[in-house]
Amino acid sequence: MSVSIRHLDLNFGPVEVLKDLNIEIHEGEFLVLLGASGCGKSTLLNCIAGLLEVSDGQIFISGKNVTWEEPSKRGIGMVFQSYALYPQMTVRGNLEFGLKNAKVPKEERDRRVARAAEILQIEPLLARKPAALSGGQRQRVAIGRALVRDVDVFLFDEPLSNLDAKLRADLRVELKKLHHALDNTMIYVTHDQVEAMTLADRIAIMKDGLIQQLGSPNEIYNAPVNKYVADFIGSPSMNFLEGVVEGTAFRTGDTVIDLSTYGFTAEASGPAWIGIRPEHVLTGGFSDVSGLTAEVTVSIVEPMGADTLVWTQLAGTDFRFLVDGQMEVKEGDRMQIGIDASRASLFDKSSENRI
Amino acid sequence: MRELAERGYLWCIALAFVAFVLVTIGLDYAVLVTAPWVLLALAGIAAVLLIVEARGVALAANRFKWYAIGWVVAAVVAMGLWALAQKDVQAAWPALKSFRKMWNVFEPFALFAAALFVLIAIGILAIGTLDKGMHQPGRLERTFAVNMSAKVAAVPMAFTAIGVFVISTGWTIYHSFTNSKLLPKSQFIGLDQYERLWSTNRWLVSIENLAIYGICMLIFSLVIGFVLAALMDQKIRFESVFRTIFLYPFALSFIVTGLVWQWLLTPEFGVQKIVRDLGFENFTFDPLFNADWVIYGILFAALWQGTGFVMVLMLAGLRGIDQEIWKAARVDGIPMWKTYIFIVIPMMRPVFVTALVIIAAGIIKVYDLVVAQTSGGPGIASEVPAKYVYDLMFGGQNLGQGFAASTMMLVSVLVVLIPWAYLEFGGRKRG
Ligand SMILES: Nc1ncnc2c1ncn2[C@@H]1O[C@H](COP(=O)(O)OP(=O)(O)O)[C@@H](O)[C@H]1O
Ligand SMILES: [Mg+2]
């Protein structure tokens, strides 16, 4: 079901955590709220769940205004970072407790528990207590607890953050499968951009209680709306060079980058940043690039297996780019690099917005 | 071969020692007299074998080094003692003569001990130089020599524990079977003290009072403490002010509490007077002067003093509950009271156990509150066991009777504690 958040404000005493927030989440969409820790993601999710009283604004779920509705009546299920299982109940008890409380008849309860257990492959664990489960299994049970509620909207608050890297990757894929299988609306909070990019239909990037950009992973990656988003998304992160836009050229020190292929969103001139992703820098075997070609000296080499991150200096600033992991590069080498202006991003110097 | 030599060596030394001890305590059979020397000779052969096997002495940084050196030092000391018993030495040092008898006792031991110690040192050197065999510390060594400083540090604690708890308790129980009066005596009279105890009306009243007081105190202080803590946990304003107010009585001694509540419950000054002054002339409220109600008057004062502390314990426990559990329960639609009863309280089990133990200890030893509030009156209506023990031991000069009563108190504590400990620790494996 669709969720829409209109002019949402939330204050903790004098501290404004969310400021006039608006999001429309479509039915069946997987929306990821991404942002650095402390930016208000969990606060927003708790508002949607009804666990926090909003200071101003409305929340609609499937067109119904639920701003002042109890969490259990909103048709949501929620999964937490710490799993929040009831420790003295078995897995089955955890799944059933809410249903029993809502007086769901026994057959119906058993049917739902069986279905959730099957989907999440936790049937053999039903008689165990949470203490006897691994982190991954606990999180499955927590997801199961949301699943048996038979709700339309799932809320996840950093569900994978307490797991180790391997499990996280596995469970990520399973969440994606789950979304395909159930077709529910899912709102997912994380600070991990890999999770966001891999899972999301759309990502909302938050900073200080404001949404910076809301768009598909591709849009956010290729056309970040401001310098913060550009810097936040991408690993290794984007290179920024400071300079001046003059017509269709970007001048930084003695270096001039030709911007004739850059897709300007606005007429622009004056001080600016240019951002170039390390993986978009061309090396070896390229010809005729519209932008810049330069010869640089390698200062540090960081092999990462599949790729190698090479550090150099360009126009007096540190500059990184990726080369194939099989390529032989060593410190002190001279390399020919090319920058394709059509894949770069330009940001106004003072507003830091994309131009 | 090496194994045999090592074991043989150690056994020979040990047996020689045993045989020698037997001889010295008077069992001077010919076999026993010769045995130590034969055994020591065997040990010597074994030591030589070990040294030959080890081909040289390479003992640096070996854990046996200090043992060997220690035994050599012991041998030197033993030789010194032997020397002190010699006439020539004593002639040179006249002061020694006054202790002549003592030196002469040492003489035969000292020479043998010196020989034994040297042999032990050699053997340890031999074993220590081998790269295999005894390179793992054995059970004895692990018990006494490994991590020595920690064990030495634990000795005072162990002595205190044994001395205070075991020996004193044993002493008390032992003397409860005697007819000790003003001073402890060892004249046994069997179970007489216990028979007398259980036929004393005052003791029976004490037990009954303790039962009423204990059950009510446990239930009410846990319930009230938890409810206050739960109210306090609702993110109320001025929480710290309330917390301080509730905890304040706990800072008072039982004597002060007792006196304050004695005053409040006295008809002429306290609650009864206030209500009568308000116009209810026939109002009567004098629990401390009514034999049926007096124990509840004491209970009230104890609750007033103790619940604040229970509340603080419970509040700490509540604060330890993950906030996300609350959120999960709300999303599941569980009402707050059900969340407390079915989720939060079971999670707070350790806090409840702690509170229970503290409250129970307070119940068993309740004494000063009674003394301050009623002195056991009216009549003997508010007597408690601890007061009975104190009065008989120090007032009635009847130690035996006091010991019997305190043994009964100990037994009742154990009756409660042992099943609990069994459940708490014995059941852990079931997890
Ligand atoms: N109960 C609260 N009282 C006061 N401030 C809070 C409370 N909860 C969160 N905050 C503040 O709100 C901001 C956003 O918190 P949160 O939504 O938890 O961030 P995150 O994006 O890491 O999930 C943080 O700066 C935090 O300090
Ligand atoms: Mg958070």
Q: Is the CB of A190 under 6 A from ligand 1?
A: no
- CA-to-CA distance for B148 and A156, rounded, in angstroms? 54
| Six-digit token string for A34 | 């991404």
Find the A41 Cα to ligand 1 centroid distance in Å.
8
Closest residue by Cα to atom 20, ligand 1, is A38
With CA atoms as reference, the chain A residue closest to B329 would be: A98
Find the A44 Cα to ligand 1 centroid distance in Å.
10
Residues B310, B355 contacting (CB under 8 angstroms): yes
Asked if the model's pLDDT at residue A254 lies above 60, the reply is: yes
From A15, A16, A157, mutation site for ligand 1 pocket: most ligand atoms within 8 A of C-beta = A15
- CA-to-CA distance for B271 and B285, rounded, in angstroms? 7
Residue B270's pLDDT is what?
83
Residue A337's pLDDT is what?
92
Residue A187's pLDDT is what?
96
Give B187-217 as a 3 state SS string. CECCCHHHHHHHCCHHHHHHHHHHHHHHHHH
Find the B194 Cα to ligand 2 centroid distance in Å.
66
Instruction: Please identify, by atom number, the ligand 1 atom nearest to the C-alpha of residue A35.
Output: 21
SS3 of residue B291 by DSSP: coil
Partner-chain contact B328 A78, CB within 8 Å = yes
> Tens digits of per-residue pLDDT, B67-88?
777 888 888 888 888 887 777 7
Residues A45-82 as b/e (b if ≥16 CB within 10 A, e otherwise) read bbbbbbbbebeebebbbeeeebbeeebbebbbbbbbbb
| Six-digit token string for B377 | 């009156």
Choice between A145 and B282, residue whose per-residue pLDDT is larger: A145
Closest residue by Cα to atom 3, ligand 1, is A12
- CA-to-CA distance for B296 and B213, rounded, in angstroms? 7
> B335 contacts in A (CB within 8 Å)?
101
Q: Identify the helix (H) or strand (E) that includes residue B53.
A: helix B30-54
Using alpha carbons, select from B144, B142, B79 the residue that is nearest to residue B116.
B79
Residues A160, A143 contacting (CB under 8 angstroms): no
Question: Which ligand is closest to the CA of A44, given by its number?
Answer: 1
- CA-to-CA distance for B217 and B228, rounded, in angstroms? 16
Residue A116's pLDDT is what?
93
Find the A202 Cα to ligand 2 centroid distance in Å.
19
- Residue A259: strand pairing partners: none
| Cis, peptide link before residue A236, omega less than 30° from 0 | yes
Find the A121 Cα to ligand 1 centroid distance in Å.
34
Which of B237, B323, B325, B332 would best serve as a mutation to test chain A binding (most A beta carbons within 10 A)? B332
- Residue A291: strand pairing partners: A340
Closest residue by Cα to atom 23, ligand 1, is A42
Q: Is the CB of A124 under 6 A from ligand 1?
A: no
Does B328 contact chain A (CB < 8 Å)?
yes
From edge to edge, which strands make up the β-sheet containing A334-340? Answer: A281-283, A334-340, A291-297
Residue B130's pLDDT is what?
59
Task: Count contacts between A and B (CB, < 8 Å).
Answer: 65
Using alpha carbons, select from A217, A344, A216 the residue that is nearest to residue A277.
A344
Find the A83 Cα to ligand 1 centroid distance in Å.
19
Q: Is the CB of A326 under 6 A from ligand 1?
A: no
Radius of gyration of chain A (CA): 24
> Tens digits of per-residue pLDDT, A54-68?
999 999 999 899 999
Per-residue confidence band for B133, with pLDDT thresholds at 50, 70 and 90 = very low
Q: Are strands A291-297 and A334-340 parallel, antiparallel or unpaired?
A: antiparallel
Residues A332, A297 contacting (CB under 8 angstroms): yes
Q: Chain B: nearest CA to A200, how far in angstroms?
A: 24
Choice between B20 and B198, residue whose per-residue pLDDT is larger: B198
Using alpha carbons, select from A274, A278, A287 the residue that is nearest to residue A238.
A278
Q: Where are the domains of chain A?
A: 3-228, 229-348
Residue B428's pLDDT is what?
54
From edge to edge, which strands make up the β-sheet containing A317-324? Answer: A300-303, A307-314, A317-324
Residues B340, B357 contacting (CB under 8 angstroms): no
- Provide the CATH number for the domain formed by A3-228 in this structure: 3.40.50.300
Whole-number percent of chain A with pLDDT over 70: 100
CA distances B203 to A213, B182, B199, B373, B379, Å, are 80, 20, 8, 19, 13
> Angle CA(A110)–CA(A113)–CA(A115) in degrees, nearest 5?
105
- CA-to-CA distance for B278 and B275, rounded, in angstroms? 5
Question: Which ligand is closest to the CA of A38, given by its number?
Answer: 1
> A85 contacts in B (CB within 8 Å)?
328
Q: What is the rounded average pLDDT for all residues in chain B?
A: 83
Least CB-CB distance to A84: which of B325, B333, B431? B325
Residue B132's pLDDT is what?
45
Crossing angle of the two packed helices A91-101 and A135-147, in degrees rounded to 10: 20
The secondary structure of residue B63, as a DSSP letter, is T
- CA-to-CA distance for B75 and B67, rounded, in angstroms? 12
> B341 contacts in A (CB within 8 Å)?
none
Partner-chain contact A97 B324, CB within 8 Å = no
Domain B198-430 = CATH 3.30.450.90: no
Q: Which residue has the tokens 């938050």?
A: A206
- CA-to-CA distance for B18 and B39, rounded, in angstroms? 11
Per-residue confidence band for B277, with pLDDT thresholds at 50, 70 and 90 = confident
3-state class percentages of chain A: helix first, strand second, coil last, to nearest 5: 30, 35, 35
| Alpha-helix residue ranges (DSSP H) falling in A103-238 | 106-120, 135-147, 165-182, 193-199, 217-222, 227-232
Choice between B326 and A315, residue whose per-residue pLDDT is larger: B326
Q: Which residues contact B171 (CB under 8 A, 6 or more apart)?
A: none
Q: What is the rounded average pLDDT for all residues in chain A?
A: 92
Least CB-CB distance to B328: which of A70, A84, A131? A84
| Alpha-helix residue ranges (DSSP H) falling in B278-398 | 294-319, 323-331, 336-338, 345-347, 349-364, 368-373, 385-390
What number of other Cβ atoms are within 10 A of residue B178's Cβ?
20
Find the A328 Cα to ligand 2 centroid distance in Å.
43
- Residue A354: strand pairing partners: A347
CA distances B367 to A317, B253, B376, Å, are 80, 12, 10
Q: Where are the domains of chain B?
A: 2-175, 198-430
Which of B327, B330, B331 would best serve as a mutation to test chain A binding (most A beta carbons within 10 A)? B331
Residue B265's pLDDT is what?
86
Residues A14, A6 contacting (CB under 8 angstroms): no
> Tens digits of per-residue pLDDT, B347-401?
999 899 889 888 988 898 888 899 998 888 788 888 999 999 999 888 888 889 9
- CA-to-CA distance for B83 and B61, rounded, in angstroms? 34
Partner-chain contact B347 A87, CB within 8 Å = yes
Least CB-CB distance to B332: which of A72, A83, A88? A72
Asked if the model's pLDDT at residue B291 lies above 80, the reply is: yes
Residue B128's pLDDT is what?
63
All residues with CB under 5 Å from ion ligand 2? A 42
Partner-chain contact A149 B322, CB within 8 Å = no
Left if phi > 0, otherwise alpha if psi is -120 to 50, otherwise beta: which for B377? beta
Least CB-CB distance to B333: which of A87, A101, A131? A101
Architecture per CATH, A229-348: Beta Barrel (2.40)
Asked if the model's pLDDT at residue B59 lies above 70, the reply is: no
Residue B29's pLDDT is what?
80
Q: Chain A: nearest CA to B431, how far in angstroms?
A: 9
Residues B17, B113 contacting (CB under 8 angstroms): no
Choice between B37 and B102, residue whose per-residue pLDDT is larger: B37
CA atoms within 13 A on the CB side of A246: 7
Which string of DSSP letters, residue by residue, matches B136-197? S--HHHHHHTTTHHHHHHHHHHHHHIIIIIIIHHHHHHHHTTB--SSS----B-TTHHHHHH
Instruction: Please identify, by atom number, the ligand 1 atom nearest to the C-alpha of residue A15.
Output: 5
Question: Which ligand is closest to the CA of A81, given by its number?
Answer: 2
Burial of B16 (0-12, 13-18, 19+ CB in 10 A): buried
- CA-to-CA distance for B365 and B177, rounded, in angstroms? 23
Residues B400, B179 contacting (CB under 8 angstroms): yes
Per-residue confidence band for A6, with pLDDT thresholds at 50, 70 and 90 = very high
Choice between B431 and B204, residue whose per-residue pLDDT is larger: B204
Asked if the model's pLDDT at residue B427 lies above 60, the reply is: no
Does B346 contact chain A (CB < 8 Å)?
yes
What does the pLDDT average to over A131-140? 92
What does the pLDDT average to over A7-31? 92
User: Residue A295: what are its φ and ψ, rounded to 5°?
Assistant: -105, 130
Torsion of CA B153, B157, B158, B161, to 10 degrees: 180
Partner-chain contact B332 A101, CB within 8 Å = yes
> Tens digits of per-residue pLDDT, A34-49?
999 999 999 999 999 9
Evaluated on CA atoms A156, A159, A165, A167, the torsion sign reads negative
Partner-chain contact B324 A84, CB within 8 Å = yes
Per-residue confidence band for B430, with pLDDT thresholds at 50, 70 and 90 = very low
Residues A112, B344 contacting (CB under 8 angstroms): no
Evaluated on CA atoms B339, B344, B347, B350, the torsion sign reads negative
Residues B6, B49 contacting (CB under 8 angstroms): no
> How many angstroms separate the first and last alpha carbons of chain B?
49
The residue type of B194 is Y
Partner-chain contact B331 A102, CB within 8 Å = no
Using alpha carbons, select from B156, B153, B124 the residue that is nearest to residue B141.
B124
